[in-house]
A and B are shown apart, each in its own frame.
Chain A
């Protein structure tokens, strides 16, 4: 069942159909915001997955494409299922298009575009997998968004056989809102942000700061763990060397050596997991809050324009009580922007809570698994150490 959200109807969005979002009731919001496929699949009518990375070697360049699989019952899709291949460039294009066409909404971030060559191998399994997960997350966030998921560019991205041909036609599909927001760029100065948006701005500033600190701490921990690992890899074998000198102690010493080896392997798995799964998500959220701050600024621009125009009218001191049409349009724009932003913020806050809950629980889990592996190794060696040995 689809219930019309009152704010969305007013939006003069050129390309998107009206009245397709559900109310901001917490339970249905949460249901839709869960990124896993769950039992409550009935409320979802669009499923998108990113997988199967493949390397393409051409004369000019080498690059990776990912398979995008879409399943949907929505009328906007001609077929129930689609499978296309896209590369990072295409995602970047999509995001730009979304920003342009939906400037009042928060667009999810992409994983970092530029990679320092030589430091990270762009074609390594770990890097590709990390990127794939981030791209998958990106599309899922759009899928879950009641407005963005109906964006025409998004639809084309998911379905078109030849995306490049579509890209070339790009200009024609700019929305009116997009145009008008572009025109606003610069020129108007906002006197003061309304309290609620100021609060959001402050929140985002502190949030980004804290995440940055956490990122640094996490990196430092990984660095220390790697250095610890280096020493462990030297430590274990010394017991082996010693074992070769001994008779009765040979087996116990060899056992300790093997045990330390197992712990080393477990530690390596922990650091790999943290590097591949923890850090990228953290960084994504920092990028997210950065892009959100720029949307806030755009909102400020719209309000500034409205206030300036309003003031201009007041200064004209005309007797006509009617407010001119263009000022009214400005007001509309501002109110829509505010409404969209507020709804998105709420959605974002919930998502963020889920994401961080999952992220931090995952971090705790990985550490627990590490210690469990080590515990098992040491416990299994105790009987060996206590055994009565035959003197050699």
Chain B
């Protein structure tokens, strides 16, 4: 197999600007027409548009959530629908005009994402907010219909769309565009692309993981990283939920002081006022925890996004393994055919073949038969060489494009997580300041006792 790869390392074409597994070509122009204010500002050729095309030109929001009862074949099922609004902005500071507004449910977001995963396997596809509430602490409801959960999901879905819209490659996808603009029939259009058929089978992917011999080391390391990242963020979220639980308890128990100080102050003369007013501050302290922990949920959501992003990262690595495995199998197959061919022409038998065996057992084949077989093999070899060449090219393209997106993702991740940590620190500072305030007030009340 070592001979196969170097031999074909000849023509390396530059990577096309189009992603692999590409949607309809002609639609780029259609998108250009339909989106208001579209301008080809730069680039060689009409296919190239500016990066962040959508983000500059349009605003996307998931502005509302509504409970619905579905007309299911089986039963009446409750679900939540989300209002997706798209606004077009003429100039950077100009007013926005509502261009599209439609309702989508979570399953449609899932469909969109699954489509993107299949058609852009080299892209780290932004994740959806969690399907069911996890890492909850006792106050949060595990119910999908709970308003707090729905609200956080709404924000998560909006975030997802914004991520896709700001991705230089994903933003240009037609199906994504239609998701934002065409309510009815959208599901049918997606299914018509046949993307489900194009999806790699799980079994095949698993097989590849274990059997690939020479994956790109960078991807192996990256896969390892994404595994570790998933593990550490999960752990972090679990402990954070427990920390929140305990902190809630500490604050709430202080509320009891309010009541007992009030009762005690009733039997006191000089001490009474001080006790009473201090008790009030204890009540304030106890109730302050609700807002504090609600804010912290946003931090948890930011971490969760990257927990799920790690899975997307892993998917890209797995795709590489699969392609590499495919390549290795093809090369192996080619090598084996070449050897067979050689043996047939020289007459030496080194490899086992059924034909060879039967020949031995039942008599030699005629020279004509042998010639015929050699010819077939030579055709197969030629075909195989072509395939291997294109597979190799494909593989290299994939690695190049994937790595470019991974670099983009790394920068995004570092930026976002730093921001998240800063906002977390700011939250803690605010909590400390509130604590100092309340206890200082209480202390003053006690001093007047």
Contacts and interface: CB of A to CB of B under 8 A. Distances in A.
B142 interface: no
A375 B426 CA distance: 10
Interface stretch (B231-239, B313-321, B363-371): B231-239
B267 A203 contact: yes
Contact of A224 (B249, B425, B440, B447): B249
B439 A375 contact: no
A360 B443 CA distance: 7
From B235, B247, B270, B428, name the one whose CB has the most chain A CB atoms within 10 angstroms. Answer: B428
B421 interface: yes
B240 to A, nearest CB: 7
Nearest to A235: B239
Nearest to B266: A206
Given A224-B250, A231-B239, A213 B260 contact: yes
A230 B418 CA distance: 26
Interface stretch (A91-99, A135-143, A182-190, A365-373): A365-373
B242 A253 contact: no
Contacts of A238: 232, 235-236, 239
A371 B228 contact: no
A249 B449 CA distance: 51
Given A371-B432, A378-B432, A385-B422, A217 B443 contact: no
B246 interface: yes
Nearest to B443: A364
A356 B449 contact: yes
A250 to B, nearest CB: 10
Contact of B429 (A242, A248, A252, A375): A375
A371 B439 CA distance: 9
B429 A245 contact: no
A210 B263 contact: yes
A219 to B, nearest CB: 10
B271 interface: yes
B27 interface: no
Contacts of B435: 367-368, 370-371
Given A228-B250, A368-B435, A375-B433, 20 more contacts: A217-B253, A227-B246, A234-B239, A238-B232, A238-B235, A238-B236, A241-B235, A242-B233, A248-B414, A249-B414, A256-B421, A259-B425, A356-B271, A357-B271, A357-B447, A361-B447, A367-B435, A370-B435, A371-B433, A382-B429
Interface of A: 203, 206-207, 210, 213-214, 217, 220-221, 224-225, 227-228, 230-232, 234-235, 238-239, 241-242, 245, 248-249, 252-253, 256, 259, 353, 356-357, 360-361, 364-365, 367-368, 370-372, 374-375, 378-379, 381-382, 385-386
Interface of B: 225, 228-229, 232-233, 235-236, 239-240, 242-243, 245-247, 249-250, 253-254, 256-257, 260, 263-264, 267, 270-271, 274, 278, 414, 417-418, 421-422, 424-426, 428-429, 432-433, 435-436, 439-440, 442-443, 446-447, 449
